[in-house]
Amino acid sequence: MIWVPLVLGLVAAQRLGELVLARQNTRRLKAAGAIEIGAGHYPLFVLLHGSWLVALTVFTPWTTFPNPWLVGLFVMLQLGRVWVIATLGRFWTTRIITLPGAPLVRRGPYRFVRHPNYWIASLELAVLPLAFGQIWIALVWSVANALLVRHRVRVEEGALSERN
């Protein structure tokens, strides 16, 4: 079986579906008076996640058999991602969109940790390459992601502080 294109194709399809949902939610929120904060760094996240998939596709032999334990962990992370999206519902986007006056979500995974989506995405960027033996992809993209997420969390915390 050709594992790499199968797994990465599923991940790419999932991400594209999420972008469609995020765009719909962003439009609805903006129509309701929400504003976007920190739009300037958003293209860097798109570039980071897109190049991660491209690097995995290009540098991983397509017949590489993935580590089943790490694939299982990646699937668990996907369940966490779905939990985050379901918890935020119409407020979930891939951008920092804030609706003045809306209460902060404090249920679901947000009861346990702030910014669970960033934790999940950070783990995904490491776990999937490791499942295919691509340590260098896990390391390079994890470091780049950590730098971006560090900035983004500061921007998001600033935007959310007005709603506390």
Read off the pLDDT of residues 11-32 as tens digits, 9 standing for 90 and up: 999 999 999 999 999 999 999 9
DSSP states along 115-130: SHHHHHHHHHHHHHHH
47-91 residue pLDDT tens: 999 999 999 999 999 999 999 999 999 999 999 999 999 999 999
Through-space distance between the first and last CA atoms of the chain, rounded to whole angstroms: 51
Eight-state DSSP code of residue 164: -
SS3 13: helix
Check: pTM over 0.85? Answer yes or no.
yes
Neighbours of 61 (CB within 10 A): 11
